[in-house]
Amino acid sequence: MLKIRSAICSGVLSAAALIAAASTAFAVELTFWHHTYPPARTFIEKKAAEFTAQHPDITIRLHDDPHGDYEVKLLSAIAAGNAPDIVNVLDYLFPQYGKRGILAEVDLSAFGVKSAAALEALYQPKALSGLTIDGKILGVPEEFNTLALFINKAHFKEIGLDATDPATWPKSWNDLFSLASKLQKPDNSRVGFNWVWNLDPYWYAQQYWPILTQYGCEVVDASGKAAINSDACVKAFSETWKVLIDKKLGGPELATVNPVNALQDFSEGRQSMAIAGIWAPPLYSDAVKAEYVVAPLPQFDPANPKTLLNSYALAVTAGSKHKKEAFQFLSFLTTDSDGYLATTGYVTGRTGWADTKVAKETRGSAIFAEGQKHGSFVWRSPTWSEEGTAIKNAIEQFAQGVPVKQALDQAAADINSIRQR
């Protein structure tokens, strides 16, 4: 009898061991790389825990780096054969990543649809267009952004203006610079407005792209030749970026450089107006959170508004061994549009995002939703990073006194050289 019991116990233990071994064998750990943004990390970790509770054999390991370092480290990891499963990728990189076969086509079944058209219907118009290469959808938005003007209403009050009254909002760039001069402190302890300086090329592009489209400036023409030194482009930069320098209203020497919070000066009350997305307020100081107002982006022609669309998207790498599980998690994560907006300020671009209670309670959401109708993505090129660097260099040159046309001529020559390689 003892032998029988012993055999039974042994069999039960062996079965348990086999089950445990099988469970371990089929366990999946998804590696997820993201740019550093503390509110996003908090939200993603929360959703990852919820997902693992529903799928105990799947865990998510999150890694993040500041934006400027993130892309360099990501490409190095991919080149070394150590690509993460899930990546956070800006839309301008999709042509490059798509050409190199880095990203996997979206698994439609993970999103509960059977066609690309059905997936597109889950999102705002244009939301997936910047993530589609050669007819293949290679990612989904974590952020589907446009830009607006943030105003510190306490600063406006100091010069006798009520920032909650749309009549006081700058409609044109000239209006913006006129207000900036009134808001600036004589000792420059506060500036009325400034661009973001000394960060990566895409930070520059986010700011100049709306202006270029408003002025009819093309970075490259239909033939693929650089056109950034055209009369329209020279006029665009001369009447906006250069004006700020010439009038001593802003510039790199008056900007705090922070790759995690590029808007630190506005966030801490040292700047009265700033251009940003709906994602910005979670990093504002409590004092500024209480005072900010959101206004539409200034325009060259207010009757014909144009602005930026951009997407910091989520994608699965082609080299991932767990594509199915990775896409399942992305669907689970991005479906929670209200959670994203409330915690991080991110708009996932899902259809109807602006109609929810959370959105309606978010300051400026209606302005951002309207802006999404008038935006466009930056120009598409597999060598965008190099081309964007050429334009960034030109801006920094004319900020130091080089004539705008001369700086843009050099940028055009550099872009043509890059494209001919």
Asked whether the predicted pLDDT for residue 57 surpasses 60, the reply is yes
Token digits for 19?
């089950």
Tens-digit pLDDT profile for residues 63-81: 999 877 888 899 899 989 9
- Segment 271-281 mean pLDDT: 95
Q: Which of 13-17, 307-311, 337-341, 366-370 is predicted with the least confidence, judged by mean pLDDT? A: 13-17
Domains of the chain, by residue range, sit at 28-145+310-376, 148-308+383-419
- Segment 359-371 mean pLDDT: 96
Task: Give the C-alpha separation, 101 to 122, whole Å.
Answer: 25
- The answer to whether the CB of 108 falls within 8 A of the CB of 102 is no
CA separation, residue 259 to residues 253, 265, 285, 407 (Å): 16, 13, 17, 25
**pLDDT band at residue 189, thresholds of 50, 70 and 90?**
very high
Give the pLDDT of residue 67: 76
Give the pLDDT of residue 9: 44
- Helix, strand, coil percent values for the chain (each to nearest 5): 50, 15, 35
DSSP codes, 24-35: HHH-EEEEEEEE
Task: Give the C-alpha separation, 339 to 319, whole Å.
Answer: 30
Task: Give the C-alpha separation, 409 to 398, whole Å.
Answer: 12
**pLDDT band at residue 281, thresholds of 50, 70 and 90?**
very high
Are the folds of 28-145+310-376 and 148-308+383-419 the same? yes
Asked whether the predicted pLDDT for residue 320 surpasses 70, the reply is yes
* Dihedral angle sign, alpha carbons of residues 121, 123, 126, 131: negative
Task: Give the C-alpha separation, 34 to 251, whole Å.
Answer: 30
Please state the length of the chain.
421
Classified by CATH at the fold level, domain 28-145+310-376 comes out as D-Maltodextrin-Binding Protein; domain 2 (3.40.190)
- Segment 291-316 mean pLDDT: 97
Asked whether the predicted pLDDT for residue 1 surpasses 80, the reply is no
- Segment 194-201 mean pLDDT: 94
Classified by CATH at the fold level, domain 148-308+383-419 comes out as D-Maltodextrin-Binding Protein; domain 2 (3.40.190)
**pLDDT band at residue 26, thresholds of 50, 70 and 90?**
low
- The answer to whether the CB of 102 falls within 8 A of the CB of 317 is yes
Tens-digit pLDDT profile for residues 231-273: 999 999 999 999 999 999 999 999 998 877 889 999 999 999 9
As a whole-number percent, the residues of the chain with pLDDT over 70 amount to 94
**pLDDT band at residue 8, thresholds of 50, 70 and 90?**
very low
Q: Which of 14-18, 132-136, 267-271, 281-285 is predicted with the least confidence, judged by mean pLDDT? A: 14-18
Mean pLDDT score across all residues of the chain:
93
